[in-house]
Amino acid sequence: MVGELTWSRRLVGLWLPLTLLFVFALFPFAWMAATSLKANAELYDPTANPLWIRHPSLVHYIDLFKETNFVVWIGNTMLVATVSTVISLLLGVMLAYPLARMRFPAAGLLAITVAVTYLVPQTLLFVPMADLINRMKLGDTLTAVMLTYPTLLVPFCAWLLIGYFKTVPKELEEAALIDGASRWRAMTRVILPLCTPGFLSAGIFAFTLAQNEFLYALLFLNTSTIRTVPVGVTGELIRGDAFYWGQLMAAAFLGSLPVVLIYSFFVKYYVAGLTAGSVKG
């Protein structure tokens, strides 16, 4: 390092910004958790200190599981996220491998097209998409979201995998080809296994994005039992003007947990995925 940091410089350069920004980043989660543990009498008591939980209670969690379809929503979310992640990875490889590894007419143009697709937002597509889905008679089915989520995920997966495929030395593949392996065999036995970290990064990204998706789920999933967590919670725990804050916060907290758990296991790959390509320059 450049010189030793004094105690006061460490405070200003490290602990002060760190503490302030961490409070900002984590307070909403802490506040969700705290709120979810207070029974209504305490929650809506204007004289109480809101930062303190006097009588911790699990009543909102019990209500959430007994009175709402929360468990079903979690199941739906996992199912939808898994299926759309698998589809996205498959389509992502199918796009990325030829574009990264094969000499192909217009490969560059296609790669650019894929990258640009990533910029086409849901906001632009949802009005006609709703129309299309209804015409295909897929409205109000989980198939509708499983079919449409990959549109959000495939471009990123392909983009990330192109970067990964390019990092594997061409010689490895050429050696396999010269040894008599077919291109398909060289790809599935040599290149794809080497890109496991790339698949993990892309897969985690796709899985969490699919779990968090809100707009298409809001558009396509109307029946309570086929909803995902984000639309189920926002759609059914807010009834008109009535907000069930205890249950809402319990659901928001619990609903965020799966994603957080996935992160804690795979954070390294996720960060690698986020910065892949961009740090190579």
Partner 1 sequence: MTSTTAVSVAPTLHAGETIRRSDRRLGIVMLAPALLYIALLVAVPFLLALFLSLTNSSAGSLEFSFVGLQNFENVIASPVFRRALRNTFVFTFVSQLAVIVLGNVLARALMKSFHGKAIARFLILLPWAAPISLATLGWLWIFDSTFSVINWLLKVAGWLGPGQWYYWLGDPTLGMVAVIMIHVWRMLPFSTVILLAGLTSIPNEVREASAIDGAGLFSRIFRIEIPMMKPLLTVAVLFGVVFTFTDMSVVYLLTRGGPYNSTHVLASLAFQEGVLGGDVGRGAAVAIFLVPVLVVLAIFMLRTSRRAEVV
Instruction: Report 53-112 residues binding partner 1 (CB under 8 A).
Output: 91-95, 97-99, 102-104, 108, 110-112
Q: Indicate which single residue of 70, 80, 144, 163 sits in contact with partner 1 (rule: CB under 8 A).
A: 163
Q: Per CB under 8 A, does 240 bind partner 1? A: no
Q: Indicate which single residue of 40, 182, 196, 225 sits in contact with partner 1 (rule: CB under 8 A).
A: 182
Burial annotation 150-177 (CB, 10 A radius, 16+ → b, else e): bbbbbbbbbbbbbbbbeebeeeebeebe
Is residue 106 within 8 A of residue 196, CB to CB? The reply is: no
β partners of residue 238: 243
Q: Indicate which single residue of 23, 71, 116, 172 sits in contact with partner 1 (rule: CB under 8 A).
A: 116
DSSP state of 111: H
C-alpha–C-alpha distance, residues 189 and 145, integer Å: 33
Shortest distance, position 76 Cβ to partner 1, whole Å: 14
Q: Indicate which single residue of 65, 126, 194, 224 sits in contact with partner 1 (rule: CB under 8 A).
A: 126
C-alpha–C-alpha distance, residues 121 and 104, integer Å: 29
Shortest distance, position 202 Cβ to partner 1, whole Å: 14
How many CA atoms, within 13 angstroms, populate the side-chain half-sphere of residue 14?
A: 7
- Identify which of residues 10 and 58 has a Cβ nearer to partner 1 in the complex: 10
β partners of residue 239: 242
Shortest distance, position 144 Cβ to partner 1, whole Å: 11
Residue numbers 195-234 binding partner 1 by CB under 8 A: 208, 211-212, 214-215, 219, 229-231, 233-234
